[in-house]
Amino acid sequence: MTSAASRVARTVRADIQAQTAYPVAPSAADVIKLDAMECPYPLPQRVRQAIAEAALATPLNRYPQADLSALKAEVAAAFGVPPEAGLLFGNGSDELIHLLVQACCEPGDTVLSPWPSFVYFEMAARFDHARFEGVPLTADLELDLPAMLAAIEQHRPKLVFLALPNNPTGGLWPDDAVEAILRAAPGLVVIDEAYQPFAGHSWMPRVTRLPNAVVMRTVSKIGLAGLRFGYLAGHPDWIAQIDKVRPPYNVDVLTQAVLRAVLRDKAVLDEQAARLRADREPLARALAALPGVRVYPSAGNFILARFSGKLDGNAVHLALKTRKILVRNFSAAHPLLANCLRISVGTPEENAALLAALQDILSP
């Protein structure tokens, strides 16, 4: 009998064998966790009690209901989805990205995005046999619109992903640039608004007036990262086709029950997002005042900082880790991100601890 390794080698796709799995850093209870753009605030007791009661009343022996119209109405009302829009739910936005590629792309079709951006745009394209083209940002990590338009003309992509704000850079591309991309794109433009609650700007009110765009969001960044729930809104014609490749029962009964319980007190989520928005700018100013640190403008719940003084990004990342402060190191992710660390906005106490540690690490 041949070994498992040899069977794997001749059975699993070569491109999958060459991939590395999506990196998820381990964490411990005694660290300051500023590496994953999570909301640092736990839900209040009254909301957790409502969640517990909803879970107790949920029949786990039954599949989820096929008719999600009531949940769709609640989500649309809570998050400002136009009533005439089609709505599709996913097990996080990662699943929605897969569904979009599967529904729209034949093997070899092109998926295009400004780059660097959310890494899963590229991963989903490659997993689903599409070709990914990343269009480099400028040296200042801004959108290179002429390069984007040239790439669209050259590659004629089936899908264009635009993260607004962009992850990991934090940039929010101007409306006129997005409109130019919408006019040029021959296929579907996916506007990823994962960080919209921190940006004060959205394409959602216009989505049904855009014949070639959909808007994708998640609840992960506003306090429900453990829930794994995303939604896609757009013209019903688009949503109906993408829904055909959705696995049945992809949003489980507990996710639905918890989400409905939380949405009855959605003001809590809005207040948490507002708190993080308010804390972002003082943190950015304090980081920019440190020696050898460049901070990039951010419309998300995180800040990208480049370290080029006494210590480089790798050294600063390690020094913070030894102090039990976790941030995300992008130094090796892309040449444009050399020595860059992405820092989630934490609680005021966490932000203060981060700044104190950096002052110590970077002191002459």
**Which residue, of 224, 249, 264, is where some domain finishes?**
264
Q: What is the pTM for the complete model shown? A: 0.94
- Using DSSP bridges, classify how beta strands 340-344 and 328-329 pair: parallel, antiparallel or unpaired: antiparallel
Q: How far is CA 202 from the centre of its chain?
A: 15
Q: How high is the pLDDT of residue 21? A: 81
* CB proximity list for 100: less than 8 A, separation 6 or greater: 124, 159, 188, 190, 214, 232, 242
User: pLDDT value at position 326?
Assistant: 97
pLDDT the model gives residue 87: 98
As beta bridge partners, residue 232 has 88, 216
Confidence grade of residue 22 (pLDDT, cut at 50, 70, 90): confident
Residue found by looking up tokens 């792309």 in the block: 105
We report the CATH number of the domain holding residue 204 as 3.40.640.10
Q: Do 149 and 224 reside in the same domain of the chain?
A: yes
**Can you read off the two tokens belonging to residue 263?**
């949405």
Tell me the two tokens of residue 147: 């390069």
Which of 38, 96, 33, 62 shows the shortest CA–CA distance to 230?
96
The pLDDT of residue 41 is 97
Determine which of 10-19, 39-48, 188-197, 331-340 has the lowest per-residue pLDDT on average. 10-19
- Is residue 1 one of the residues assigned to a domain? no
What residue numbers bound the domain in which 280 lies? 14-44+268-362
Model pLDDT, residue 123: 95
pLDDT of residue 20: 80
Which of helix, strand or coil describes residue 152?
A: helix
Q: Does the residue 8 lie in any domain? A: no
114-154 pLDDT tens trace: 999 999 999 999 999 999 999 999 999 999 999 999 999 99
Distance of alpha carbon 47 from alpha carbon 35, whole angstroms: 26
Burial of 320 (0-12, 13-18, 19+ CB in 10 A): buried
Q: What is the pLDDT of residue 313?
A: 98
Q: Residue 51 domain-assigned?
A: no
Query: Looking at residue 18, what is its pLDDT?
Result: 86
For the chain, percent of residues with pLDDT exceeding 70: 99
Note whether residue 174 is domain-resident.
Answer: yes
Task: Please report which confidence band the pLDDT of residue 7 belongs to, taking 50, 70 and 90 as the band edges.
Answer: confident
Q: Which of 232, 264, 296 is a domain's end point?
A: 264
Residues forming a β-bridge with 303? 343
With vertex at residue 262, the alpha carbon angle to CA 241 and CA 172, rounded to the nearest 5 degrees, is 60
Q: Is residue 259 part of a domain?
A: yes
Query: What's the mean pLDDT when you consider all of the chain?
Result: 96
Output the CA angle 167-284-199, nearest 5 degrees: 45
pLDDT band at 27 (very low <50, low <70, confident <90, very high): low
Where a domain ends, among 200, 235, 264?
A: 264
Q: Tell whether 29 and 146 lie within a shared domain.
A: no
Alpha helices in 105-252 (DSSP H): 119-127, 145-155, 175-184, 236-242
In which band, very low, low, confident or very high, does the pLDDT at 310 lie, cut at 50, 70 and 90?
Answer: confident
**How many domains would you assign to the chain?**
2
Residue 199 and residue 84 share a domain: yes
Does residue 168 sit in the same domain as residue 281? no
* In a domain? residue 324: yes
Give bridge partners of residue 294 from the DSSP assignment.
Answer: 306
pLDDT in tens, 212-234: 999 999 999 999 999 999 999 99
Q: Is there a single domain that holds both residue 187 and residue 91?
A: yes
Pair 277, 307 in one domain: yes
Q: What whole-number distance in Å separates Cα of residue 157 and Cα of residue 13?
A: 24
Alpha carbon 264 to its chain's center: 24
80 with 225: CB under 8 angstroms?
no
**Do residues 78 and 23 both lie within one domain?**
no
Chain centroid, CA 226 distance in Å: 14
What pLDDT sits at residue 8? Answer: 87
CA nearest to 258, candidates 54, 69, 45, 41: 54
- Same domain, yes or no: 211 and 285: no
**Statement to judge: residues 242 and 286 lie in one domain:** no
Which residues, listed in sequence order, are joined to residue 214 by a DSSP beta bridge?
Answer: 190, 234
pLDDT at 190 over 60: yes
Taking only the tens place, the pLDDT of each residue in 261-302 is 999 999 999 999 999 999 999 999 999 999 999 999 999 999
Mean pLDDT over 31-38 rounds to 96
What's the pLDDT score for residue 1? Answer: 56
Whether residue 32 is contained in a domain is answered as yes
Residue 175 neighbours by CB under 8 Å, 6+ apart: none
CA 104 – CA 130 distance, rounded (Å): 10
Structure tokens at 204: 């959602």
123 and 233 share one domain = yes
pLDDT band at 29 (very low <50, low <70, confident <90, very high): confident
pLDDT band for position 157 (50/70/90)? very high
- C-alpha 121/C-alpha 117 separation (Å) is 8
pLDDT at 364 over 90: no
Is residue 33 predicted with pLDDT exceeding 90? yes
C-alpha–C-alpha distance, residues 163 and 121, integer Å: 10
Q: Smallest Cα–Cα separation from 340: which of 298, 299, 296, 297?
A: 296
| pLDDT above 90 coverage of the chain, percent | 90
Same-domain status, 108 and 239: yes
d(CA 272, CA 246): 32
Is pLDDT at 309 greater than 90 in this prediction? Answer: no
Q: What are phi and psi of 13, to 5 degrees?
A: -50, 140
pLDDT over threshold 80, residue 23: no
Q: Are strands 213-218 and 188-192 parallel, antiparallel or unpaired?
A: parallel
For the chain, the distance separating the N- and C-terminal CA atoms, rounded to the nearest angstrom, is 63
Residue 343 falls inside a structural domain: yes
Q: pLDDT by residue (tens digit) across 50-72?
A: 999 999 999 999 999 989 999 99
In a shared domain, residues 88 and 212: yes
The predicted model gives 100-104 an average pLDDT of 98
Tell me what the mean pLDDT of segment 43-47 comes to: 98
CATH number of domain containing 274: 3.90.1150.10
